[in-house]
Amino acid sequence: MWAVRAAWVGLLLMAGAAHAAPPSSVPAATSQALAFDTATSRFGFEIRTRLGQRIEGIFPRFEGNIEVLSDGRHQVHLRMFTRYVEIPGKARYTGWMRGEEFFDAARYPVVEFDSLPYWPEVVDKGGSIQGRLILRGVSHPETLRVEPPQCARAGYDCDVVSRGTVQRGRYGMDSWQLALSDRVTFVLRARLSEAPKP
């Protein structure tokens, strides 16, 4: 479902670790984890009505990191908590999104994404990150597309932006088909909490 178009989310994403230590400086037998800055990162989603109106939601609570592997590649691990999902300024829509017809937060409190290992050049230039999304207890391989960076130190001085578009029906979120598009785009704007250690 995350057949993404370049722009997520981010949900990047998260590839802000692209500027972690280069492969030659990472010890061969160790790895390190770079945490997302929860104060400055923004993870959310967009869905359109059949009339073209865009509804934007956010995940105010999330956790995750980018693991720097011993061979210099990176791997994203992200968890977004559905019981806190919000459609800002729209209490009724927020209730729908948390309810059993959409994220079903009572039974499935977490949306998870774990990427396959990727080289940090993806963040330097933009590109695709493959991974596995778990949503409402259903797991599918999905793709995030990372936008080309807007600054030299993406993830620190500017957001790493990624988007992943999924078909919600594949995850059992098939209600309101006459009113809402089947496509949900996760938008991930990620920053890291501290620079990687040399």
CATH of the domain at 32: 2.40.128.110
> Is 67 domain-assigned?
yes
b/e per residue, 52-68, with b = 16+ CB within 10 A? eeebebbbeebebbbbb
Helix/strand/coil for 175 = coil
- How high is the pLDDT of residue 193? 87
> Is 135 domain-assigned?
yes
Q: In which domain, by residue range, is 161 found?
A: 15-173+181-190
Which residues on adjacent β-strands are paired with residue 141?
A: 132
Residues of the chain predicted below pLDDT 50 = 1-29
> Is 26 domain-assigned?
yes
Whether the full predicted model's pTM is greater than 0.75, yes or no, is yes
For residue 164, what are the CA distances in angstroms to 14, 91, 112, 126? Answer: 12, 25, 13, 14
Strand order in the sheet with 62-68: 32-35, 62-68, 74-81, 110-115, 127-135, 138-146, 160-167, 180-190, 42-49, 54-58
- How high is the pLDDT of residue 104? 96
- How high is the pLDDT of residue 35? 94
- How high is the pLDDT of residue 89? 93
Write out pLDDT tens, residues 69-111: 999 999 999 999 999 999 999 999 999 999 998 999 999 999 9
> Is 195 domain-assigned?
no
- How high is the pLDDT of residue 16? 38
- How high is the pLDDT of residue 15? 38
Cα distance between residue 197 and residue 178, in whole Å: 51
Per the structure, the count of domains in the chain is 1
Closest CA to 147 of 167, 129, 168: 129
> Is 49 domain-assigned?
yes
